[in-house]
Amino acid sequence: MTPLIKTLFDLAEQVKLENTKGKEKIPTSDVFLRKMTIHFSRTEEEIKKFIVSLREAHYIFVINIVMPDPNLFVNSLDAYVYAEPGILTELKRFADGRIEQIYEGTFYKRKSAFQIVRELFPKIREYNNTPIGKAINEVVMLEEYNRLLASNPYEYSEVWKKERLYSIYQESDDEMIPVNPTDEGPVRAVDQVRDANANSSTNSKWGKTTSQFSVEFLVRIHFRKYEFETIRKLILTGRITKEHDLIYIRDTLKKMEGRTNIDHILKHYMNQMVELRRLAQAKLNIIRKPGVT
d(CA 43, CA 108): 43
**Residue 193 pLDDT > 50:** no
Q: Phi and psi dihedrals of 247, rounded to 5? A: -65, -40
What pLDDT sits at residue 170?
53
CB-based contacts of 173, cutoff 8 Å, min separation 6: none
Mode of pairing for the β-strands spanning 169-171 and 176-178: antiparallel
| Mean per-residue pLDDT over the chain, rounded | 83
Please provide residue 171's backbone torsions phi and psi, each rounded to the nearest 5 degrees: -60, 140
Determine the pLDDT at residue 266: 78
Asked if pLDDT for residue 192 goes beyond 50, the answer is no
Beta pairing partners, 74: 69
DSSP-assigned letters across all residues of 178-215: E--TT---PPPHHHHTS-HHHHT-TTSHHHHHHHHS-H
Nearest to 60 by CA among 39, 31, 91: 91
Question: C-alpha 37: how far from its chain's center?
Answer: 22
CA 236/CA 233 separation, integer angstroms? 5
Q: Going by C-beta distance under 8 Å and a sequence separation of 6 or more, which residues neighbour residue 183?
A: 49, 205
The pLDDT value recorded for residue 8 is 94
Residue 196 sits at φ, ψ, to 5 deg, of -60, -30
Q: What three-state secondary structure class fits 43?
A: coil
| C-alpha–C-alpha distance, residues 135 and 102, integer Å | 8
Q: Where are the beta strands (DSSP E) in the chain?
A: 60-66, 77-82, 169-171, 176-178
Distance CA 187, CA 279 (A): 18
CA distance 259 to 187: 34
> pLDDT tens across 65-74, in order?
998 888 888 8
Of the candidate ranges 52-61, 109-118, 235-244, the one whose mean pLDDT is the lowest? 235-244
For the ranges 6-15, 26-35, 150-159, 181-190, the lowest mean pLDDT is seen at 181-190
What pLDDT shows up at residue 1? Answer: 63
User: For the chain, what is the radius of gyration of the CA atoms?
Assistant: 20
Q: Tell whether the model's pLDDT for residue 292 goes beyond 60.
A: no
In tens, the pLDDT along 87-137 reads 999 999 999 999 999 999 999 999 999 999 999 998 888 999 999 999 999
| pTM, two decimal places | 0.61
Residue 238 CB: number of other CB atoms within 10 A?
A: 20
